[in-house]
């Protein structure tokens, strides 16, 4: 199947088909049948082709009705639209040698990156069926606001607030958590290593229980008084998949992911990957090696670590949920 990628900037679209770049006005871009062959995969940044223009928009090109009509036209022509996460475009440029940021380079970099990473091409988002937020997603935003408020207070006290029932729940159940986890997951949460007497090392120490991670996950299930949290749309305790999708948001399209995501993915997974891959001072500048500069083997290792890490989060959430249900 033929691939075409496109980027928007300077009030013009730039498309690349593997050989030729062309400039298209927003109106010309909409006339797909004139420039995009039937059966093509059309890739463009989600910010440009998957989000609705508003009064404050800068990157968004079209309003909701125009986008929906465009999606329908593409479908009728057998054109498969795929939405590339705009946060990953710098990585695409770095890994394909298009270091200068221009619209032409972005279109060509995304094209080259998707060719060398076919699994990513197949996993890219397709256009949304509607731009009206679904109830479960809106509920996730409300739930995240509460989560942010709770964690914002907790982190000021290093997640060890006197009288906080989330802290108490975590500390009282360390042994139960450890019993439920495989060794790789125990390592992630600081529950693998023990003193000679069998007790855990000091909370927060290098080999000790990682309270920030454990508190963050427990806070997705409990209020600070120990009561259960409920989804605002169903008035029932949240399921694990819903929590992962709306609160941890492991996908690249995670705009304003929130404090839980920051704790689990940025501070948590990033440092875990660095330690396992030994990339703390692996760059020429003696700094942490960017994932932009990973070799193919390092990229493979990184993805496996991320898969293992997310599996550990799910196991821990399930374990916690079984203890509070």
Residues 216 and 157 in one domain: yes
Residue 93 lies in a domain: yes
**Is the C-alpha dihedral spanning 16, 22, 24, 29 positive or negative?**
negative
| CATH code of the domain covering residue 33 | 3.30.420
Residue 316 lies in domain? 135-324
DSSP collapsed to 3 states, 79-146? CEEEEECHHHHHHHHHHHCCCCCCHHHHHHHHHHHHHHCHHHHHHCECCCCCCCCCHHHHHHHHHHHH
Query: Do 229 and 98 lie in a common domain?
Result: no
* Strand pairing class (21-24; 41-45): unpaired
35: helix, coil or strand? coil
State the Cα–Cα distance between residues 86 and 90, nearest whole angstrom.
8
155 and 41, same structural domain? no
Of 240, 234, 216, 211, the C-alpha closest to 148 is 216
Domain boundary among 95, 123, 151: 123
Do 9 and 91 reside in the same domain of the chain?
Answer: yes
Under 8 Å between Cβ of 323 and 176: yes
Pair 140, 274 in one domain: yes
Q: What is the pTM of this model?
A: 0.81
Last residue of a domain, one of 92, 123, 154: 123
Number of structural domains (the chain) is 2
The tens-digit pLDDT sequence of the chain (325 residues) is 799 999 999 899 999 999 999 999 999 999 999 999 999 999 999 999 999 988 777 778 999 999 999 999 999 999 999 999 988 999 999 889 888 889 999 999 999 999 998 889 999 999 988 888 889 999 999 999 999 999 999 999 999 888 999 999 999 999 999 999 999 999 999 999 999 999 999 998 989 999 999 999 999 999 999 999 999 999 999 999 999 999 998 876 655 779 999 999 989 999 999 999 988 877 667 788 888 788 888 989 999 999 999 999 999 999 999 999 7
Torsion sign over Cα 228, 233, 235, 237 = negative
Looking at the structure, tell me whether residues 163 and 54 fall in a common domain: no
Helix residue spans in 14-99 (DSSP H):
26-30, 46-49, 64-76, 89-96
Is residue 44 assigned to a domain? yes
211 and 296 fall within a common domain: yes
Is 129 part of a structural domain of the chain? Answer: no
Please state, in angstroms and rounded to a whole number, the distance separating the CA atoms of residues 27 and 39. 21
């Amino acid at each position: 199947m033929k691939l075409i990628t496109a980027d928007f900037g300077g009030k013009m679209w730039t498309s690349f088909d593997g050989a030729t770049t062309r400039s298209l006005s927003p109106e010309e871009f909409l006339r797909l049948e004139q420039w995009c062959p039937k059966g093509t995969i059309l890739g463009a940044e989600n910010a440009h082709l998957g989000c609705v223009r508003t009064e404050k928009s800068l990157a968004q090109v079209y309003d909701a009705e125009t986008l929906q009509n465009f999606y329908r036209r593409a479908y009728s022509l057998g054109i498969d639209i795929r939405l590339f996460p705009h946060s990953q475009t710098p990585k695409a440029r770095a890994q394909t040698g298009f270091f200068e940021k221009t619209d032409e380079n972005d279109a060509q970099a995304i094209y080259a990156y998707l060719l060398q990473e076919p699994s990513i091409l197949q996993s890219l988002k397709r256009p949304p069926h509607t731009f009206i937020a679904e109830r479960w997603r809106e509920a996730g935003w409300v739930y995240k606001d509460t989560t942010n408020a709770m964690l914002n207070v907790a982190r000021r006290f290093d997640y060890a607030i006197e009288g906080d029932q989330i802290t108490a729940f975590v500390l009282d159940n360390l042994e139960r958590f450890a019993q439920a986890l495989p060794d790789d997951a125990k390592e992630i949460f600081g529950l693998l290593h023990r003193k000679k007497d069998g007790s855990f090392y000091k909370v927060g120490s290098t080999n000790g229980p990682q309270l920030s991670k454990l508190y963050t996950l427990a806070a997705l299930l409990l209020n600070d008084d120990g009561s259960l949290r409920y989804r605002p749309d169903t008035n029932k305790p949240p399921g694990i998949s819903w929590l992962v999708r709306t609160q941890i948001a492991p996908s690249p399209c995670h705009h304003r992911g929130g404090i839980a995501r920051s704790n689990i993915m940025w501070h948590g997974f990033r440092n875990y990957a660095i330690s396992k891959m030994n990339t703390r001072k692996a760059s020429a500048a003696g700094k942490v090696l960017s994932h932009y500069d990973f070799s193919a083997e390092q990229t493979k290792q990184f993805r496996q670590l991320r898969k293992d890490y997310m599996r550990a989060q799910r196991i821990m959430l399930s374990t916690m949920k079984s203890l509070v249900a």
